[in-house]
């Protein structure tokens, strides 16, 4: 299928979210017409930042109410669109039948649109790697698009915290199969790493989770992430650009998946230190570690960290497909902190005056 043309009309689901909001903004910057799909158009906390975008005043950006739990939810919105960036979360990743059902709702609206030719489906690196069993990382330490979590592993169940990872794979496959069957549109998967960068609206500070973790650092505490995994990051703006690049790339094919990350991996305690290094003006009081791990996990910290240190993160497929140059994590941390303070009014805990 041909990529969507420049200045085409693109629908963005999850448009009030962290990544969705940036995708809307950068699509507008590149001259596209955008239909931003949110659950509540009239919730000022979630949509005022969209309505403040210049494209809203001219009508190039329009807002639409849709809940993907409803069959036919996007029928009217997708009609006349060339592309869809399906970025929204679903309400429950732990119920595979529900995940399949909401995919069917969205696919139905795409099929009935008669106009959509390219869909980018937002998955996650959770559909590439899984933290359920670190021996999997030992056995297969190269993180690339052809890698999947071991689906036969008995630990892979919603009860063991794998619902998100499983749900993302259900969606990837549902969209690729439906596009194949249709023959009228392509489904391309984007698997983002940990999104860091500026929020555009105060409500986004509580989402994420990575910007929320940075907020807690500003407020004096930090936690180790699951099983001592370092942050494997992408700037939220670069992630949005990857989505736009996949909508417009002429070199991608239905069913292909692409990882969006810079390949920068950084330990959480280093991110705390980075805030002070990058923004000494804040005089941030060093955040205190809150360790919720049981002793049996803590005893294995060095072993787990050594496993992650062996991992090799790859992104050459995305760079080739969309011509991306990923920005350094330092810029993402700095811009995230400044936005938390300026947009959301977060007040960092500071060192006492000398």
Ligand X SMILES: NC(=O)c1ccc[n+]([C@@H]2O[C@H](COP(=O)([O-])OP(=O)(O)OC[C@H]3O[C@@H](n4cnc5c(N)ncnc54)[C@H](OP(=O)(O)O)[C@@H]3O)[C@@H](O)[C@H]2O)c1
Site of interaction with ligand X (CB under 6 A): 13-14, 16-20, 38-39, 46, 67-69, 87-91, 122, 124, 192, 194-195, 204, 207-208, 210
Least separation in angstroms between residue 301's CB and ligand X is 24
**Quick one: which of 165, 121, 168 has its CA closest to 12?**
121
Q: How far is the CB of 344 from ligand X (least distance, A)?
A: 13
Is 233 in contact with 290 (CB distance < 8 Å)?
A: no
The dihedrals phi and psi of 235, each to the nearest 5 degrees, come to -70, 135
Please say which residue, 164 or 185, places its beta carbon nearer to ligand X: 164
CB 160 to ligand X: min, Å: 19
Shortest Å distance, C-beta 294 to ligand X: 26
Least distance in angstroms from the C-beta of 122 to ligand X = 4
Sign of the dihedral through C-alpha 131, 133, 137, 138: positive
Q: In this complex, which beta carbon is closest to ligand X, that of residue 20 or of residue 230?
A: 20
Q: How far apart are CA 348 and CA 285, in angstroms?
A: 8
Strand partners, 143: 313
Comparing CB distances to ligand X, the nearer of 29 and 69 is: 69
Burial 105-141 (b: 16+ CB within 10 A, else e): bbbbbbbebebbbbbbbbbbbbbbbbbbbbebbeeeb
The gap from C-alpha 123 to its chain's centroid, in whole angstroms, comes to: 8
- Which CB, 48 or 303, lies closer to ligand X? 48
Q: Which of 75, 88, 82 is nearest to 12 (CA)?
A: 88
Q: How far is the CB of 223 from ligand X (least distance, A)?
A: 16
Query: β-strand 288-289 against 312-313: which pairing, if any?
Result: unpaired
- Smallest gap from Cβ 291 to ligand X, in A, equals 22
Spatial distance between the Cα atoms of 187 and 175, rounded to a whole number of angstroms = 6
Nearest by Cα to 187 from 123, 131, 281, 137: 123
Q: How far is the CB of 4 from ligand X (least distance, A)?
A: 20
Residue of closest CB approach to ligand X: 17
First-to-final CA distance of the chain: 64
Nearer to ligand X, 136 or 235 (CB): 235
Looking at the Cβ atoms of 65 and 285, the one nearer to ligand X is 65
| CA 313 and chain centroid, separation | 17
Collapse the DSSP code of 305 into the 3-class scheme (helix H, G, I; strand E, B; otherwise coil) and give the result.
Answer: helix
Using the minimum distance from each CB to ligand X, give the nearer residue, 344 or 349: 344
270: its two tokens: 């280093």
- In whole angstroms, give the CA distance from residue 340 to residue 279: 13
Q: Which is nearer to ligand X, 65 or 349 (CB)?
A: 65
Cβ at position 105, least distance to ligand X in Å: 9
Return the number of the residue (195 or 224) whose C-beta is nearest ligand X.
Answer: 195
Q: How far apart are CA 142 and CA 311, in angstroms?
A: 6
- If you ran DSSP here, which 8-state letter would residue 215 be given? H
């Amino acid at each position: 299928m041909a990529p969507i043309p420049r200045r085409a009309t693109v629908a963005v689901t999850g448009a009030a979210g962290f990544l969705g909001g940036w995708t809307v903004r950068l699509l507008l910057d590149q001259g596209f017409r955008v239909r931003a799909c949110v659950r509540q158009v009239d919730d000022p906390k979630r949509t005022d930042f969209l309505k403040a975008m210049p494209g809203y005043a001219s009508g190039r950006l329009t807002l639409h109410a849709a809940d993907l739990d409803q069959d036919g939810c996007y029928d009217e919105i997708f009609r006349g669109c060339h592309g869809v960036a399906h970025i929204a979360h679903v309400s429950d990743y732990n119920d595979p039948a529900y995940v399949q059902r909401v995919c069917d709702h969205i696919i139905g609206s795409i099929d009935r649109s008669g106009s959509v030719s390219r869909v980018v489906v937002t998955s996650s690196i959770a559909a590439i790697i899984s933290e359920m069993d670190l021996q999997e990382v030992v056995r297969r330490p190269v993180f690339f698009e052809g890698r999947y979590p071991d689906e036969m592993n008995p630990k892979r169940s919603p009860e063991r915290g794998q619902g998100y990872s499983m749900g993302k794979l259900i969606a990837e496959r549902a969209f690729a199969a439906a596009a194949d069957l249709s023959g009228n549109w392509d489904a391309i998967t984007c698997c983002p790493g940990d999104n860091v960068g500026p929020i555009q609206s105060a409500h986004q500070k509580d989402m994420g989770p990575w910007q929320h973790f940075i907020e807690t650092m500003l407020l004096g505490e930090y936690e180790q992430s699951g099983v001592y995994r370092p942050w494997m990051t992408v700037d939220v703006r670069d992630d949005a650009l990857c989505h736009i690049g996949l909508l417009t790339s002429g070199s991608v094919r239905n069913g292909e998946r692409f990882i969006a990350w810079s390949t920068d991996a950084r330990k959480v305690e280093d991110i705390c230190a980075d805030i002070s290094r990058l923004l000494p003006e804040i005089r941030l009081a060093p955040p205190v570690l809150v360790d919720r791990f049981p002793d049996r996990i803590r005893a294995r910290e060095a072993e787990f960290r050594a496993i992650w240190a062996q991992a090799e993160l790859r992104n050459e497929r995305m760079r080739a497909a969309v011509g991306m140059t990923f920005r350094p994590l330092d810029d993402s941390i700095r811009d995230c902190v400044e936005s938390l303070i300026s947009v959301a009014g977060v007040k960092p805990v500071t060192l006492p005056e000398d």
